[in-house]
Structure 1
Amino acid sequence: MPATIPFKRSEMKRLAEFAKREGVRAEIEVNGFVFRVAPDFNPVRVAVTEESDLDHALAEFDRKHGYS
């Protein structure tokens, strides 16, 4: 039988809202049960031109140093 969560849904929601608002990871521990929440960060997007420039620089490095 699965153990029940030792705190209320409203408490978990409040903790999640706090973590998102403050940009931190938060956790609650009760009787050995740990509930952790962290804000959902969107990955940083690289502009296509930056990625192309990096690809070009790596290809040039490989050509210069004899890598194929």
Structure 2
Amino acid sequence: MASAIPLTRADMKRLADYAKREGVKAEVQIDDFIFRVSADHPPAKVDGSEESELDRELMEFDRKHGYR
């Protein structure tokens, strides 16, 4: 028979709130029970001007070396 979870719902919510607020992964291990939570991280935004600069440099390189 499975034993009861050693954390209360309130404990798990506090840990999840902490992980989200701090932007970290948190883990609690009690005997064989492990509770892990991770913050949701939005995808990193790419600066469009930086990407354009890299594209321009690549096109210049390609032209210089006869690729286009």
Relative to the length of structure 2, the TM-score reads 0.65
Instruction: Kindly state the Cα deviation for residue 15 of structure 1 after the two structures are TM-superposed.
Output: 0.2
List alignment gaps of at least 5 residues for structure 2. Answer: none
Q: Which portions of structure 1, spanning 4 or more consecutive aligned residues, are displaced by more than 4 angstroms?
A: none
Q: How does 1:48-63 map to 2 (within 5 A)?
A: 48-63=48-63
Aligned Cα root-mean-square deviation (Å): 2.4
For 1:21, the equivalent position in structure 2 comes to 21
- Percent of residue pairs identical: 55
Shift of 1:4: 7.0
* Unaligned residue ranges in structure 1 (runs of 5+): none
1:52 positional shift = 1.8
